[in-house]
Every structure is written in C-alpha cells, then in structure tokens.
C-alpha cells in the first residue's frame, strides 16, 4: 500500500516538475481553491446555510448565478452536437469531444452547486419521488421540469462522454471497448437529438421560465413564457461562444493547434448569428417589460433599477451583445483571431451578465414601498465553493486534455498535448 501511495506521489511530483513556472503557480492556485472548496463544503453541509450572506430577502445567491451561467453556457454542447450530428456541419468535429466534456462538467457542477444551495441536501431525491406535476404531462413547478430535464440530459452527456474516455490509447487497445466506443460514436446522432429536445426544455425553464412565472415579482414576471424562449436562444448564442472560447484558451496554454482555425470560426459564426436573434429578442423583452409588465405592478421600469445593481448591467449586456454581433458576423473581423476572441469573450460576458441581472437585480428590488434596495455580499464560504467548483472543472479539463483524446486534431498532426 505504501509503495502505491509513494508511486502516486512520485508521479504527481514528476508531472508537476515537468511544467513551466507559470503553470506550476497556476496548479498551486487550483489546488488551494479545491482544498478550500472541500473545507467550506463540509462547513456548509454540516452546519447549514447560515454561513452564507443569503437571507430571507436575498434568498438565492452566487450558487444560483453559477447554476444559471453553467447551464446556459454548457448549453453550447447540445447546440454544437445538433449542428454536427443533425445538420452535418463536419467542420465542428475537431472540438466536439471538448464540447461534450464541457457540457458534462457544467451540468455536473450545476448539481454540485444545487446540493449546496438547498437547505436539505439529503432530501434532494424528493424532487424525483414527489414531483409537482400539474395536469397531463405538464409539470406544475418549473423546478420539477428543471430537475427531470437536467437529470436526463446529464445522462445523455454521460453516454456522449463514454466514447471520449474509451478512445484513450490503453483502453482503445482492448477490442471490446474499441467496438463499444466505435458503435456508440455511430449512434451519437440519437443522443444529440435527445439532448437537443431535453436541453430546449431545461434551458427555458431554469434560465427563464422559473423566473417569469413569479407573478408577484416585478423584476421577473413576463406573460406567456417570453423569458422561457429567450433563455433557450441565450443558451444557443452564449453556449456556442463558450464552446469556442474554452478550446481556444486550451490551445494557447498547450501551445498547440488543438483544432483548425476554421472550426473555431465556424462555431463563432453560428454564435454570431444566434446573437442577432438573442439581441433582437432581448430588445423586445426590455420593451415589453418597460411598457407592459412592470407597469402592471404599479411600478416604473427605470425605478426598479437601483441600489448596487443599476441600469449599468443592462447597458453592459447590450454592449457585449452588439460587440459579439459585430465581431462574429462580419467576416473581416471574424477571420482575424484577436477580433474573433473579442467577439466570443463578449458573447460569454453578455450571457454571464444576463444571469447576474436575473439574480442580483431581481432580488434587490424592494417588495414594499418603504423598504430600500437590498444588497448581497457573498461570504468567503460562498466564494470558495464557487471558485473551487470552477477550479475542479478546469482541473478535469486539463487532465482530459493531457491524457485523453480530447482533441483528435492533435493526433492527425502527430502532436501530443503538453
């Protein structure tokens, strides 16, 4: 046993020493965050949510922002899969493994954050055992829909991830695994179709429908599930930007061409087109909120923006949307790497800001005329559980990039990841 532990430690030290100084510092940063994540996880799970800055007014916080962001950005996985397997855009093949892995991690950590966020994690299974169904097959509660769709889509992503794992050179050498991986890959279009179907529902329900049904709250209510459909478009737009950005950063860190530039540009172009739809939808959304829904609460749209979470959030979101539209749809810009990167980064920023807006702005609005805008300042426990979760995702991505066939394009050029 001691020999095994020693050899594992030797392997870690050897791998660590094989990296540059800057990468070593980054590894330490990841390790510290993951360690603090575990420490604070124990504290929150055993001693409760009193250690957070959430309260009876600001009932949800940074973990819900993380959930909304991860699901929305991870939604790029279903949309990229849809384009590759259903519409046969073969140029996306080199980054599909990376896309599936990011999608898998985004959904996995959505569950992780949800476990921290609910007050009774041991009762999490109640969501499946006692679902709030309405008439026919329609769930009454948007959260019921979220729970079921997230679970099913996560299962789909697990199946989609299996071929990536089975393509590891040691596993692939075993004939049985080789054939399983091969035929699973052949059947992937079914998974892509199922994933698209499921993803449409939970993108809409978690990102939008969950909020637009709250008819007592002026910051969220929209009739006819307008926000539901907008959240789906947001996921297709921002998710594809995120799926372009992650492998691009990986390539820069690894100093390798992980995928041809044409692949990045194809996905960036899809993202750019979706941002036109999203921004148009968002303008309509702001218009209807200002003209119709907020006045139905006897409130003025501009008056509900206040406190720390002012109208600058909306301005920032639109600025990022327009930047993404310009950089990703105009061929002259998209063909230049730096502008493309600005475009996809703006796309990701726009979607993150839209999620910040939903939670921070929505909760800050006072419910009574004599109360002022609420504010929220996450505690150290909330910060480290969030950043630790994100660091876990980065670590898994790095491990998969180094030891698994995350970027098949590298094999073609007989390169190996650093």
- The SS3 assignment for 309 reads strand
Q: Distance between CA 75 and CA 195 in Å, rounded?
A: 10
Nearer to another protein, 147 or 243 (CB): 147
Decide if 365 contacts 373 (C-beta within 8 A).
yes
- 291 scored as a contact of another protein (CB under 8 A): no
- Choosing from 3, 20, 120, 377, the residue that interacts with another protein (CB under 8 A) is 120
Query: Rounded to the nearest 10 degrees, how much is the dihedral formed by the CA atoms of 78, 82, 83, 86?
Result: 170
- Choosing from 63, 116, 221, 248, the residue that interacts with another protein (CB under 8 A) is 221
Kindly state the DSSP code that residue 361 receives in the 8-state scheme.
I
- 131 scored as a contact of another protein (CB under 8 A): yes
Return the bridge partners of 133, or none. 139
- Choosing from 89, 93, 141, 276, the residue that interacts with another protein (CB under 8 A) is 141
- Choosing from 72, 97, 99, 144, the residue that interacts with another protein (CB under 8 A) is 144
Stretch that binds another protein, among 27-35, 46-54, 328-336, 379-387 (CB under 8 A): 46-54
Which residues, in sequence order, are CB contacts of 186 under 8 Å at separation 6+? Answer: none
Decide if 275 contacts 326 (C-beta within 8 A).
no
Nearer to another protein, 149 or 250 (CB): 149
Interaction pattern, residues 60-79, with another protein; x per rule: CB under 8 A: x-------------------
Kindly state the DSSP code that residue 306 receives in the 8-state scheme.
B
Interaction pattern, residues 352-371, with another protein; x per rule: CB under 8 A: -----------x---xxxx-
- Choosing from 124, 187, 302, 330, the residue that interacts with another protein (CB under 8 A) is 124
CA angle 231, 234, 238 (to 5 degrees): 145
- 117 scored as a contact of another protein (CB under 8 A): yes
Task: Give the Å distances, CA to CA, from 106 to 109, 234, 285, 294, 390.
Answer: 5, 16, 27, 33, 9
Decide if 327 contacts 339 (C-beta within 8 A).
yes
Residues at the site binding another protein, with contacts judged by CB under 8 A? 47-50, 52, 54-60, 117-120, 123-124, 126-127, 130-132, 134, 140-144, 146-147, 210, 213-217, 221, 223, 292-293, 296-299, 303, 363, 367-370
């Amino acid at each position: 046993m001691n020999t095994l532990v020693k050899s594992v430690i030797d392997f870690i030290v050897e791998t660590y020493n094989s990296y540059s100084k800057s990468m070593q510092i980054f590894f330490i940063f990841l390790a510290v965050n993951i360690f603090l994540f575990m420490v604070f996880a124990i504290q929150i799970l055993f001693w409760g949510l009193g250690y957070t800055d959430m309260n009876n007014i600001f009932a949800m916080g940074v973990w819900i922002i993380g959930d909304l962001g991860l699901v929305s950005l991870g939604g790029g996985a279903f949309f990229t899969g849809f384009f590759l397997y259903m519409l046969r855009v073969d140029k996306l093949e080199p980054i599909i493994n990376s896309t599936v892995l990011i999608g898998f991690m985004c959904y996995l950590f959505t569950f992780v954050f949800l476990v921290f966020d609910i007050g009774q994690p041991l009762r999490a299974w109640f969501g499946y055992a006692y679902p709030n169904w309405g008439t026919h097959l329609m769930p009454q509660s948007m959260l019921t829909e979220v729970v079921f769709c997230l679970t099913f889509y996560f299962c789909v992503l697990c199946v989609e991830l299996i071929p990536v794992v089975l393509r590891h050179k040691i596993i692939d050498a075993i004939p049985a695994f080789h054939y399983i991986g091969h035929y699973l890959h052949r059947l992937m279009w079914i998974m892509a179709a199922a994933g698209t179907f499921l993803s449409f529902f939970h993108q809409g329900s978690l990102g939008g429908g969950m909020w637009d049904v709250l008819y007592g709250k002026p910051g969220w209510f929209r009739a006819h599930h307008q926000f539901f459909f907008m959240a789906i478009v947001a996921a297709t737009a921002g998710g594809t930007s995120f799926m372009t950005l992650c492998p691009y950063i990986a390539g820069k860190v690894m100093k390798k061409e992980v995928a041809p530039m044409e692949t990045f540009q194809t996905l960036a172009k899809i993202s750019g087109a979706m941002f036109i739809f999203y921004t148009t939808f968002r303008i309509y959304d702001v218009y209807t909120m200002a003209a119709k829904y907020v006045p139905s609460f006897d409130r003025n749209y501009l008056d509900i923006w206040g406190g720390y979470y002012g109208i600058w959030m909306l301005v920032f979101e639109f600025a990022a949307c327009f930047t993404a539209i310009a950089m990703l749809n105009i061929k002259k810009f998209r063909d230049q790497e730096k502008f493309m990167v600005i475009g996809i980064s703006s796309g990701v920023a726009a979607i993150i800001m839209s999620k910040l807006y939903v939670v921070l702005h929505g909760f800050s609005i006072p419910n009574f005329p004599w109360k002022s805008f609420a504010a929220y300042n996450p505690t150290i426990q909330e910060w480290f559980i969030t950043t630790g979760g994100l660091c876990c995702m980065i670590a898994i991505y790095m491990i998969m990039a180094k030891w698994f066939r995350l970027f098949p394009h590298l094999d073609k050029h007989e390169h190996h990841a650093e």
